[in-house]
Structures are given as structure tokens and as C-alpha cells.
A and B are shown apart, each in its own frame.
Chain A
């Protein structure tokens, strides 16, 4: 029994708790991609850099607050800076839409042109971000680091394995839950949300019933900007902020959106957790787990790792491939063209 509890603590510490946090971050990112896809009908390659931009804006505001000696006590100051960061990111999304995407919308260009345009924007933003904050690692997480320390957990339960929960992890999960609830309330109960869903379902019918497309697009960008900034900041709080990681995050985010069914918000959330947990469980070293579960003397020598940690991004790709081969519409049947 103790062995089993130890295994549980071990898995929680190294896979389940980090997975919940990472999954929430991916889910928030994938929600942004999926909303843009549903309404504007293209895969937004610039989303990763938008997240990065949002995180950068939040970091800059955080630094300004810290310089004035303002803090949130045990919570990271970044939470206080987040609303300003969100506002800046929304501004960025609206400006890029006005300057870049609107022209192609009026021209009714093919989705693949949008794709290239978003790639161009991705690099423009990437350059801008590196120009402003530099390419290096930025740590901006302050406040208490852990809400549950491994030592405290061991003392509490008397187990050999510790379980640590970082403040940033719990903040991530709580924020994600709140954001998702607000988003679904918005999409299902408010007029603007309903018009967005109508527009996404059937553009012509929505136009006939008097929905203003420009307004729908604007609302979409506002939500996308807010989601991107929150996702980017949470990721930065949890790991650390490095501009180049956001290009690599693009693949898991797209995979999450596609696995759940692109264009489907519920699918994006599910997809985020599917990707996060598979990434962690596939690259998890099962040596200690087996040592507890197998009779003594049978413990393996190697790490018993299915795939080395360096390949964690390959996991999301493999899941993407499996989904594309078996069910291209995704688990929750998103839209297909």
C-alpha cells in the first residue's frame, strides 16, 4: 500500500501536477488558435509570437511595478501587471488586423495566403520582441515559490516521495479554469458571443441576419489577444521567459487544436491536456515507479524512458500524425474544409 502511495506521489510530482499546468497553458494557447480559425478561417502561425509579445508586455510592466516597490506579497507581481499586458496585446492584435489581415479579408484571398501572411507577421513580431527585450532568458517570477514543499509533504504523509506544488502551477490552473468559464459564458450567453458562433458556423446566414462581420472579427481578436497574453505570461511564470521557446510551442499548440478538432473551443481544451499529459508520460523515466511496484531484486537498471526528454516535441507531432491518419476532424469533430 505504501508503495502504491509512493508511486502516486512520484507520478503526481513529476507528471500530473506539471501536466495540469502545462496542459492549461496549451489549452489557453490552442483556444486562441481555434477561435481565429473558426472565425477568420486560417491557421495563425503568429499566435506563438503573440503569446510571447503578451508575456513581454507583462514583464515590462512587472519590472516597472517592482521598481516602484509594488508587489502582491506571496503572489507574483506579474498578476497585477497582467491586465495592462492584456490591453497591450489586444491593441497589437487589433492593429495587425487593421494593417495586415483586413486587406486580405476584403480581397477574399485563399486561406493559404493568410497562412504566409501570418508567417511574415510571426517573424516581424519575433524581431520586434528580440529588439525590445533581447533574446535572453528573463525570470520575472517573484513572491512565494512553493505552496507545498516536497519536505512538508513528506513530513505530512510519512511517504518517501515528496510532492511539490509551485505557486505558478496553481495560479496557472486556477486562472485557466476562470478564463475558460468566462469564455464559455461569453460564447453561449452574450449577444456578441452568439453572433461569433453564428458567423463561424455559417458566414452567409450570419450576414443575412444582420450580423456585422467587422464587429465579429474585432471581438475575436480582442479575445484572442487576451488569451494569448494570459497563456504566454502563465507559461513564462511557470518555466521562464525566453523568446525563442514560443516558436517551438507553436507545434504543441497546433497539435492541441487539431487533436481536439480545430475550430471547436471545447476540443482545444481537451487537446491541450491530451498533448501535455502524453508529452510528460512518454518522456517520464519509469525506473523508480517500477522499483516500487516490482518485487525487490527485479528493479531495472536503465531509466525505462519511452523517449528521451529531448524529443518531447516529437510526441505532439506523433499524436498529430495519428489524429491526421485516423480522424482528421479531431476528437470533437471540428470544422473541415
Chain B
């Protein structure tokens, strides 16, 4: 079987699975799964850029995804003038102070390289003073902002721009965070990057949950503007009505199918662009250099390649792609809920996708994203049915049966862990191996 036929058959099997869901469950469910498959595929491409091209382990995918979500609200939500009036300028000023003091601290640190122990104290003092000034300026501002109708707003809002812009902004946010993390942790032992990204992603989530003035925290931001039409408007449109009539489905269902299809078209175009860019990059001299660095760092640095800088480059690029996907996800959800960011769903599952799909191969990443997301969703009904079957022989009110049924949801976690371990052990190449070039 040539690779081309294998790829084609893998993708057609995937499509058939989705069509089966459409026929058995409903087309709405099938399209929901498809949309999330597309987003997962983009995230997987981002992680693949880091892991497959350069061998960098990013344990903080969740954090970069959440930054994309933050971009979605900052770009699309209309500004809240009362909040800006109450404490906006004060808060921004304080944040500027914070930024300036970080700048001064960095300069102090760099300029005092041979001052011995004094260097630490001086930089520490600059940081402490800057922090104090920032807190004194910011705190009343934040309190004032959060006091503005806390039940409805209580935050600064965004810029009221079309939400599509946020996809780029989300990429930029994630890239910025990745640059900082990479600057600190790259060039040291490989484990440090994993630990640092794990840390930063947890902190990003804490930040989003607690900084109500920026994100409304756990009060969530609902009703984000959409890049596609609303169901209500579609239901009164003539073409949707005739179309629904011809297919023999209710208008309400038809309208939601149209909405999901438009999302799918948007996501698919982003996926194609990202895919094309990553493939081109991989085939270019830059891609060859990245793989050379991955396979033998010592030889590559002997050839004059700056490994740390190249790692930073690829880490920032990969994170930007993850950030874009994060913004797309929030766009699709139409709401921003910081509490929904779970490492399991956003870090670990993406890793399973990359490993199962085939690390180092972009096509593999895409199929990995599709397959794993599909089974992640469908594992729940399958798992419940399985548990039902296993416990069928037990008494209906047996405590063990009750316990097993109640905790069947956690089977997904175990199954995915098992899938990852088995894939790493028995098929480390994944569904579509990287192959020789």
C-alpha cells in the first residue's frame, strides 16, 4: 500500500465515521464533532511544530489556548465606558508603571554584570519598588472597575472589533507568552521547559479566573459576537426555509446546520492555511535545519547553528498556532469560561493526538486530531454502554454497580492514558509516520 492510498483511506474512514454519526445520532452532533475536530487538528499542528520539528515538550498547551480565548473577548466585546471612566486610565497607568519597572529591572540586571552580590540586591530593590508603585496605582482602579454593575459587566470590556481579528491577536498573545517562557527555560535541560510550561499554563488560568477587571473571572463572558449568522435570522430567511423543506427537516435544525457548516468552512480554511504554511516551512532549508538540530544538537551546533535561538523561534511559532486555535475555540463556544480550561482536555488530549497521529508529520497530526477527538466524544456513550454490559449481571441496587456506573466518566481519562502509553510503546511512529525525505 503506497503512502498516498493509506492517507486517503485513513481520511475516508474518518469521514465515514462522521457520516455514520450523522445518520445514527444526528447531523447536528456530527457537525459539532467535525468543528471541534478541525480546531483540534490546528492545535495538534501547533504542538507538532514544537515536538515534531524540534523535539520540544510543551506541557502548557492549556495556557496558550486560554490566552487565545482571552484575545477573543478583548477584541470582540464592546468596551464598557462606565468602567473605563471609573478606573480605566488609572489601571492602564499602573500597568505601564509595572511594565516600565520590569524594563528598568532588566536593564539594571544587564548593566551590573560584574557587581557581584550587589547585583542581586539592586535588581531585587528595583523590582520591589516597581511592584509597590504598580499595586498602589492599580488597586483602586481595579476596585472601581469591578464595582461597575458587577452582575452585568464589572470589567473593562474589549475593543468591539469583529471577532475574526481575535484569531490573529490570540496567536500574538500566545507567542508573547511563549517568548517569555522560552527565553527563561530554553537552553537549559529539556525537562525545564516542560516544568516551566506546566507552571505558566496553571498561572495563566489562575490569572484569568481571578482578574475580574479584565476577564470577569469565573463570572464568565457570555454572548460573544459571531462571525457567522444567527439561527434566528436564518430561520426567517427564504432560502433556508425552502432548503429545509426540500430535505424534509425542521427549519430550526436546518438553521443550526447552516451555522455549523459556516463555522466548519471558516475553520477548514484556517486549517488549510496553517497546514500549507507548516508543510512549506518543513520542506524549506529552515525545516531541514530544524530537523537536523532535533536529530543531533551537537552536530548542528558544530555547523554553526544557534540552537537556543532556533528552539525559541520554533517554540514561539508553535505556540502562536495554539493561540489561534484557542481563539477559534472561544469563538465557536460564543462564551469565555476560564473554569472550563482543564489540563486533561487541553494539554494532555492534544499530546495524545500528536503521538497517535505521528509526530513530525503534519498530515499525521491532522488525522490524529480527528481520530482522537472523535473517540474522546464518542467514548462516553460507548463507555457507559460497556459499563452497563459489564454490570448487567449485578443487582440493580448493588453498591458496586452504582459506583461503577457513576464513575464510568473517568474511564475516558484512563483510556486516553492507556492509548498514549500503548502508542508510545508499540507504535511510536504513529498512524502516519514521519518517513524519510
Question: Chain A residues in contact with chain B, CB under 8 A?
Answer: 42-43, 45, 100, 103, 111-113, 115-117, 119-128, 130-132, 134-135, 247-248, 250-251, 254-255, 258, 302, 306, 308, 310-311, 313-314, 316-317, 320-321, 324-326, 328, 336-337
Contact = CB atoms under 8 A, between A and B. Distances in A.
What 3 A-B pairs come out closest when comparing CB atoms?
A124-B417, A127-B413, A127-B414
B263 interface: no
Contacts of B139: 302
A128 B414 contact: yes
A130 B57 contact: no
Contact of B410 (A103, A127, A248, A302): A127
B42 interface: no
B55 to A, nearest CB: 6
A264 to B, nearest CB: 14
B159 interface: no
Nearest to A326: B120
A112 B194 CA distance: 9
Residue of B139, B189, B202 with most chain A CB atoms under a 10 A cut-off: B189
B80 to A, nearest CB: 23
Interface string B320-358: 000000000000000000000001100010010001000
Nearest to A253: B195
B251 interface: no
Contacts of A302: 139
B120 A119 contact: no
Contacts of A258: 192, 195
A47 to B, nearest CB: 12
B410 A247 contact: no
Contact of A116 (B403, B407, B416, B424): B424
Given A134-B406, A324-B184, A123 B416 contact: yes
B420 A111 contact: no
A124 B416 CA distance: 7
B191 A251 contact: no
A124 B418 contact: yes
Contact of B413 (A113, A123, A255): A123
Interface string B191-219: 11011101110110010011000000000
A317 B120 contact: no
Contacts, number: 130
A250 B190 CA distance: 17
Given A302-B139, A324-B185, A314 B203 contact: yes
B190 A310 contact: no
17 contacts: A45-B194, A111-B190, A116-B355, A119-B420, A120-B417, A120-B421, A122-B417, A123-B413, A125-B417, A126-B417, A250-B198, A251-B198, A251-B199, A306-B131, A311-B210, A317-B200, A324-B188
Contact of A103 (B343, B417, B418, B425): B425
Q: Is the interface of B mostly helix, strand, loop or mixed?
A: helix
Q: Is the interface of A mostly helix, strand, loop or mixed?
A: helix
B206 A314 contact: yes
Given A115-B191, A124-B413, 10 more contacts: A117-B421, A117-B424, A134-B407, A135-B410, A250-B198, A311-B203, A313-B202, A313-B206, A316-B199, A326-B120
Interface in B42-63: 55, 57, 59
Interface in B385-437: 403, 406-407, 410-418, 420-421, 424-425
B188 A328 contact: yes
Contacts of A306: 131
A123 B420 contact: yes
Contacts of A42: 191
Contact of B194 (A43, A123, A135, A328): A43
B196 A116 contact: no
A130 B407 contact: yes
Nearest to A46: B417
Given A302-B139, A313-B203, A317-B200, A127 B191 contact: no
A326 B127 CA distance: 15
A100 B192 contact: no
B202 A111 contact: no
Contacts of A132: 407
A248 to B, nearest CB: 7
Contacts of A128: 414
Contacts of A103: 425
Contacts of B421: 100, 117, 120-121, 124
Contacts of A122: 417
A111 B191 contact: yes
Residue of A112, A308, A320 with most chain B CB atoms under a 10 A cut-off: A112
A123 B348 CA distance: 8
A328 B189 CA distance: 9
Given A130-B407, A134-B406, A308-B210, A254 B417 contact: no
A126 B407 CA distance: 13
Given A308-B210, A324-B185, A115 B57 contact: yes
A127 B417 contact: yes
A125 to B, nearest CB: 8
A324 B410 contact: no
A251 B55 contact: no
Residue of B131, B200, B407 with most chain A CB atoms under a 10 A cut-off: B407
Contacts of B190: 111-112, 115
A224 to B, nearest CB: 17
Contacts of B194: 43, 45, 112, 115
A120 B189 CA distance: 21
